A = this chain, B = another copy of it.
Amino acid sequence: MREPIAGETGRTLGETVTNRVRRMLVEGELIPGQRLSEAGLSEQLGISRNTLREAFRSLAHEGLVTHHPNRGVFVTTPSMASIVDIYRLRRFIECRALAEAWPGHPGARAMRAAVADAGTHRETQDWNAVGTANMAFHAAIVELADSERLNVFFRRLAAELRLAFGLIADPEMLHEPYVAMNRRVLDTLEAGRPREASELLEHYLVQSERLVLAAYTRYEEGANIASTPGMD
């Protein structure tokens, strides 16, 4: 048996590979539009084509990767439409979950932990880690709604959004402002004013969407996104 993939968990090798490739995608190690060759990647990871294929189907289901039959699997290129769609859903889900939240809910504890985390990483200027912590904050907000299925769905949205974040040049601009904003949202919730917290959050999300779309436009001008293939 070959060297197993280190540092990743999974009850089965297929799951392990899925987790590993997902991390590569979310952390920007793989570039949107890039084609993922079955032969190449399976050899690089030391696994068989069939096993990698199972992982590809999972990731395609999560939207991180796009499957073109007989052509291969490509890292999903976020479109402006997908960013708009994701933010619309975030407002739809997060704001309502927060508005009807009880401040003593376990999710609120998770929100606090995430805010603390983000603060720590901001001091070391580790913006990627700040981004992860911020996303954990929003996932915690969704937890307030007490729906397992909604949690899973939101995590999938968040991963897809991070794909788009990877296209944006300046990660500090993308994450830094929201450390303080998230703290304010949390404070308002803990002060027993969930409705007001929700309105704050909605305002921040609108602002964040605008920021991301603007950066995306600048990116689109630089690279020619139009065609997925021919991106060598």
Contact = CB atoms under 8 A, between A and B. Distances in A.
A85 B149 CA distance: 7
* Interface size grouping (class) on chain A: 20 to 34
Interface string A159-202: 00000000000000000000000000000000000000000000
Interface string A48-83: 001001100110011100000100000000000000
Contacts of A50: 50
A47 to B, nearest CB: 14
Which 10 residue pairs are nearest across A and B when measured between Cβ atoms? A11-B69, A61-B61, A12-B69, A57-B57, A54-B57, A50-B50, A85-B147, A153-B153, A85-B149, A89-B147
Interface of A: 11-12, 14, 50, 53-54, 57-58, 61-63, 69, 85-86, 88-89, 92, 96, 145-150, 153, 157
